[in-house]
């Protein structure tokens, strides 16, 4: 639905060396891009800086050509960006249904009241069947997998144009990971959603992505079709260490 362009982005904490150093990346309209790299490569920092949550020193972030760099996080969300951070973040005191209703409130110009809101929530129950069964359960009673589904559904229900996902498969059973990534892939294909998916689970991420991007030492060191990265042992070994 939208193209995200990252131009010469330099991000660093305090007086330290930059974590991202002049990073260039385009996530085209409707593409699913897997963001790969070793622990500490800067995947989380990149996703957070796209939302205005990490200290950008230089460079620009553009959404369909519009410069977002100076905008607040709230304004970026209103323009169609959404982040699902690592750690299955849901409001644990609220029920599944209440969490989903919260997620409908964001995007600029959306009719997010009454029937439209309930229809959007209902769609999430179709996508994530375990959530339908647990719609009145409080967040703190959900399993890890159900929580991650809820975190993803809460982002999707706001109908973002660009979805940033930070390690959604971390700590989940393989079957749940396959289910989650499958929904993500299908939803992206059905709606044209643009996705940037940071993952340590390289195989899982490349199985749903169009492209794989590898970060190292603050830069993009590989940007290849996902199938090519997945299939070529030499490439995997050079860039991903296995
Ligand atoms: N709030 C912070 N303050 C200072 N340094 C930070 C902060 N957040 C991250 N860093 C540093 O930035 C570097 C990149 O971290 P980041 O979490 O972005 O990497 P990552 O690729 O997401 O790693 P992982 O796969 O382990 O989650 C690391 O050296 C980390 O210690």
3-state secondary structure of 178: helix
- C-alpha 37 – ligand 1 centre gap (Å): 12
41 lines ligand 1 (CB under 6 A): yes
13 lines ligand 1 (CB under 6 A): yes
Query: d(Cα 231, Cα 220) in Å, to the nearest integer?
Result: 20
Ligand 1 atom closest to Cα of residue 166: 22
Query: d(Cα 193, Cα 199) in Å, to the nearest integer?
Result: 18
Predicted TM-score of the model (pTM): 0.94
| Structural domain spans, the chain | 27-54+71-80+160-242, 90-159
What are the pLDDT digits (tens) for 114-140? Answer: 777 888 899 999 999 999 999 999 999
Q: 119, 194, 183, 185: which is closest to 145 by C-alpha?
A: 183
| For range 54-58, the mean pLDDT | 97
CATH 3.40.50.300 fits 27-54+71-80+160-242, yes or no: yes
Query: d(Cα 55, Cα 33) in Å, to the nearest integer?
Result: 23
For atom 25 of ligand 1, which residue has the closest CA? 39
Q: Is the pLDDT of residue 108 over 60?
A: no
Q: What is the ipTM of this complex?
A: 0.97
Within 13 A of 200's CA, how many CA atoms are on the CB side? 12
- C-alpha 212 – ligand 1 centre gap (Å): 20
CA distances from 181 to 10, 55, 100 (A): 30, 30, 19
What are the pLDDT digits (tens) for 170-215? Answer: 989 999 999 999 999 999 999 999 999 999 999 999 999 999 999 9
Query: What was the pLDDT predicted at 95?
Result: 97
């Amino acid at each position: 639905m939208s193209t995200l362009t990252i131009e010469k982005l330099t991000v660093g904490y305090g007086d330290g060396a930059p974590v991202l150093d002049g990073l260039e990346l385009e996530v085209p309209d409707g593409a699913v891009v897997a963001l790969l790299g070793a622990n500490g490569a800067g995947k989380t920092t990149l996703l957070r800086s796209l939302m205005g949550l990490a200290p950008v020193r230089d460079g620009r972030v553009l959404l369909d050509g519009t410069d977002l760099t100076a905008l607040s996080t709230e304004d970026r969300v209103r323009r169609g960006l959404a982040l699902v951070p690592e750690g299955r973040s849901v409001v644990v005191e609220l029920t599944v249904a209440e969490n989903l209703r919260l997620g409908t409130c964001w995007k600029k110009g959306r009719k997010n009241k009454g029937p439209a809101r309930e229809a959007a929530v209902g769609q999430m129950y179709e996508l994530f069947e375990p959530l339908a069964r647990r719609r009145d359960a409080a967040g703190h009673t959900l399993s890890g997998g159900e929580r991650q589904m809820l975190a993803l559904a809460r982002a999707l229900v706001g109908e973002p144009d660009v979805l940033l996902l930070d390690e959604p498969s971390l700590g989940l059973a393989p079957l749940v990971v396959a289910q989650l990534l499958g929904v993500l892939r299908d939803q992206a294909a059905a709606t044209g959603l643009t996705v940037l998916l940071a993952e340590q689970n390289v195989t899982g991420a490349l199985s749903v992505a169009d492209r794989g991007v590898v970060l190292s030492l603050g830069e993009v060191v590989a940007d290849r079709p996902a199938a090519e990265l997945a299939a070529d042992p030499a490439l995997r070994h050079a860039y991903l260490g296995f």
